Structure 1
């Protein structure tokens, strides 16, 4: 690893510190500005809300303290890796997130893998056979995918593959009383439950990969070194894969980094539709329960996850293009 790359990684790590602090501050302020709190929700569930009962609830959840004091205490706890306690679930927020992060990462990685492999493949074919009927079909498919809302695509997949064809399950990560996850049957069952939510989340991003790959491929096709490779007698397949695609992958890598945040946001909708037990569903439930500690923990962890993934993409980009690490353009 070159010294310029090491310095580049060090600079990017130092830049994470103010970013994380701004994320914590912005998330806390926005949640505090939202109307209602956990005391209001629990009082409404109990069917009565006397002033004494409301005061007791707010004292129990530290809602009677000044906002600045609560925020300073929260920062102090963060330094000890303490995300607080979820009174709604009756367990520490960190432990609750640890039980949900696995399904979310599985859904995100599966979706981005489907979108990237499928989108790059279709983009290469579309650029290779530009102007043909195959190009028209792929372009129409990508346009439909780009214009289709995630929630509508998920509902249609449930209607077709779960209700009418009965091929795939429509909710959850596994069946009630199903085989354990460590067995082969359990892995296959979880794979069946993963197909619909991963395909739903990947459908929109696959269309973007098709467009970016096609555009980048067509741009590289017009460069001098491609004409030189053809003049040497190389096959069109080798020119496309060895020379054109390799140089066209740089904007695709950049696109992956930009999509990580929106992919995590889209997982909230997808996990809600398919009852997938991940962070998105946990955050959705916490909003209605006004579980501030849980919301802060989920948002903070999700933001850190996106920031670290973008850091990994930047490092990969620096490997592909050493000019990035050296500060040259």
Structure 2
């Protein structure tokens, strides 16, 4: 019961901070996007090859682009109050429907990428910490530095060259085999083949961060009194490492992982474009190119919600890992 009440206080504190954060993000993003030159009517007119002033005025009037900026902001906030993300001039459909079509693909890609980064990064960090100063630690440190330094789009292209062009093991892009009628496990395996390379390209940067962070945290924890007590009790080195040192070392890793969810969305813009993955990152890129700021605002708002949700989960996880963590008074 005490554990439940403590987790409830942590959840309440995070939710109180989340509401003004979301409102501030919406307003700031709205004004920043209005600083960009052009609008959706300009792009649509350019694609048509010709447009009169009357046609341009009709397009702007239809989508409310001719209103003053403050009126556009109030109209957008009114739509949000009615649980609407507006209407897309480019795709000629509600923004919410458009985002819902792309959301599952992005969540799957980001979830697998973050999972790979945490599992591989924490595993490498444990090896580096237990072999500190030896050749495994030095080799893995160099690899971590390499993954951290190389841009994700270059890694993505090199993975395509290696696994798709030279070896022919995995497809170079897309989200599934065209025309396939596979269902069940066969369909899942087909989807996994197309997802593996983009997820790996997106995760390698974070693998380097989590490996270095886990190594540093475990080396710091290893000198604490409770570790020496666990060893004095006769526990095996494996038990001391996994049950005591690693559990406490995971606190900074989980904090950074929550922050990185927003970075994953930013990296997904590049990776999804390289691999033609139909997710929110590619949708955001298309919205920027077409000046469809309503769609872009919807993607940014959803990204903010995902980051806040991740922070809530991280706060709850940390409160579970460390009973000393309490909500602020």
What's the TM-score once normalised by structure 1's chain length? 0.96
Equivalent position of 2:253 in the other structure? 252
**Aligned counterpart for 1:133 among listed residues 135, 140, 143:** 135
- Answer yes or no: is 1:102 the counterpart of 2:115: no
Map 1:60-209 → 2, pairs under 5 A: 60-180=62-182, 182-209=183-210
Equivalent position of 2:239 in the other structure? 238
Query: SS at the partner of 1:327?
Result: coil
Query: SS at the partner of 1:324?
Result: coil
The answer to whether the 8 Å contact 1:100/1:279 transfers is yes
1:11-54 deviations in Å (ceiling 9; x for gaps):
22121111111111011101111100011111111112322222
Cα distance between partner residues in 2 of 1:98 and 1:130: 47
Cα distance between partner residues in 1 of 2:152 and 2:38: 29
- Answer yes or no: is 1:27 the counterpart of 2:29: yes
Unmatched segments (≥5 aa) in structure 1: none
Deviation at 1:288, TM superposition (A): 0.8
The answer to whether the 8 Å contact 2:248/2:322 transfers is no
The alignment's C-alpha RMSD in Å is 1.4
1:140-178 deviations in Å (ceiling 9; x for gaps):
111111111111000000011111111100111102112
Map 1:17-56 → 2, pairs under 5 A: 17-56=19-58
Cα distance between partner residues in 2 of 1:2 and 1:59: 53
The answer to whether the 8 Å contact 1:179/1:185 transfers is no
**Aligned counterpart for 1:3 among listed residues 1, 5, 27:** 5
Cα distance between partner residues in 2 of 1:76 and 1:210: 45
Cα distance between partner residues in 1 of 2:245 and 2:17: 34
How many residues align? The count is 327
Equivalent position of 2:319 in the other structure? 318
The answer to whether the 8 Å contact 1:260/1:310 transfers is no
1:103-132 deviations in Å (ceiling 9; x for gaps):
101011101111101111111111111111
What's the TM-score once normalised by structure 2's chain length? 0.96
Query: SS at the partner of 2:33?
Result: helix
Cα distance between partner residues in 1 of 2:7 and 2:226: 28
Deviation at 1:319, TM superposition (A): 2.1
Cα distance between partner residues in 1 of 2:145 and 2:10: 38
The answer to whether the 8 Å contact 2:95/2:298 transfers is yes
Unmatched segments (≥5 aa) in structure 2: none
Equivalent position of 2:289 in the other structure? 288
Cα distance between partner residues in 2 of 1:179 and 1:185: 9
